[in-house]
């Protein structure tokens, strides 16, 4: 079993309700295939074998679990939620009861691994629209949901103002820096400030 300390830390530092859920999901992934390796990307645990297989995350009130190539998978047991608000395909997971049975989840994880082994690629997005569209990172969306004042300001910002904040957060080299910048972002947004407010007369 290829586990890493960073994922241990992530689980331990999660909200109390989330710890058994994340622990269970992690064990199932490794049970599905012993070759899976753990990585931390975008400040959450990812599971890789010949590319990304799946990921999990915990938020204040729910956990999420998703498959990187979920759009290409056969949802034989109907466990994927339609365009769910939660990141990931299983909707908002608040307890172990919200999860499908172990056998079903393991079968889905193995299906996701097979897509990587068969080198099945996700369809690439057309470039022209990709450049105009700003991808807001999930952790920022979650943080804004908990701060209605900052969210309202952010939503009313122009694309360039939003982009300045997103790029600043994404350029952080460490998790600690990213967290610090996220706190500052929320503080400034709540005050109606743009990222470059100090330099604007």
- The CATH code of the domain that includes 21 is 3.90.1150.200
The answer on 81 and 55 residing in a single domain is: yes
How far, CA to CA in Å, does 90 sit from each of 16, 94, 99, 182? 20, 11, 8, 26
Q: What is the pLDDT of residues 3-24, one digit of tens each?
A: 899 999 999 999 999 999 999 9
Say which residue, 168 or 133, is predicted with more confidence. 168
Q: Please, what is the angle between helix 148-156 and helix 138-145, to 10°? A: 120
Cβ distance 93 to 64 under 8 Å?
A: yes
- Reported confidence tier of residue 126, pLDDT bands at 50, 70, 90: low
The answer on 19 and 50 residing in a single domain is: yes
- Reported confidence tier of residue 201, pLDDT bands at 50, 70, 90: low
For the chain, what percent of residues have pLDDT higher than 70? 92
Closest CA to 11 of 42, 40, 53, 52: 40
Closest CA to 88 of 5, 13, 163, 21: 21
Closest CA to 186 of 132, 150, 149: 150
The answer on 65 and 29 residing in a single domain is: yes
Give how many domains the chain has, as a whole number: 2
Q: What is the pLDDT of residues 97-111, one digit of tens each?
A: 999 999 999 999 999
Q: Is residue 122 part of a domain?
A: no
Closest CA to 57 of 69, 45, 49, 47: 45
The answer on 96 and 12 residing in a single domain is: yes
- pTM over cut 0.75: no
The answer on 109 and 133 residing in a single domain is: no
Using the predicted structure, report yes or no on whether residue 85 has a pLDDT greater than 90: no
Range of the domain at 159: 127-199
Q: Which of 63, 91, 117 is the last residue of a domain?
A: 117
The answer on 58 and 131 residing in a single domain is: no
Q: What is the pLDDT of residues 41-58, one digit of tens each?
A: 888 999 999 999 999 999
* Beta-carbon contacts of residue 5 (< 8 Å; ≥ 6 apart): none
């Amino acid at each position: 079993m290829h586990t890493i300390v960073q994922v241990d830390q992530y689980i331990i530092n999660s909200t109390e309700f989330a710890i058994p859920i994340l622990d269970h999901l992690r064990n199932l992934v490794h049970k599905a295939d012993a070759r899976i390796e753990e990585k931390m990307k975008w400040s959450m645990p990812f599971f890789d074998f010949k590319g990304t297989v799946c990921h999990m995350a915990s938020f204040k009130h729910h956990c999420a679990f998703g498959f990187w190539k979920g759009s290409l998978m056969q949802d034989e047991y109907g466990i994927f939620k339609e365009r769910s608000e939660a990141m990931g395909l299983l909707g908002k997971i608040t307890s172990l009861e919200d999860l499908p049975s172990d056998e079903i989840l393991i079968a889905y994880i193995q299906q996701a691994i097979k897509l990587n082994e068969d080198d099945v690629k996700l369809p690439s997005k057309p470039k022209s629209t990709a450049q105009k569209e700003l991808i807001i990172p999930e952790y920022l969306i979650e943080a804004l949901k908990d701060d209605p004042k900052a969210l309202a300001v952010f939503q009313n910002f122009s694309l360039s103002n939003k982009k300045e904040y997103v790029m600043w957060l994404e350029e952080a080299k460490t998790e600690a820096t990213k967290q610090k910048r996220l706190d500052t972002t929320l503080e400034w947004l709540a005050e109606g400030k743009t990222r470059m407010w100090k330099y604007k007369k």
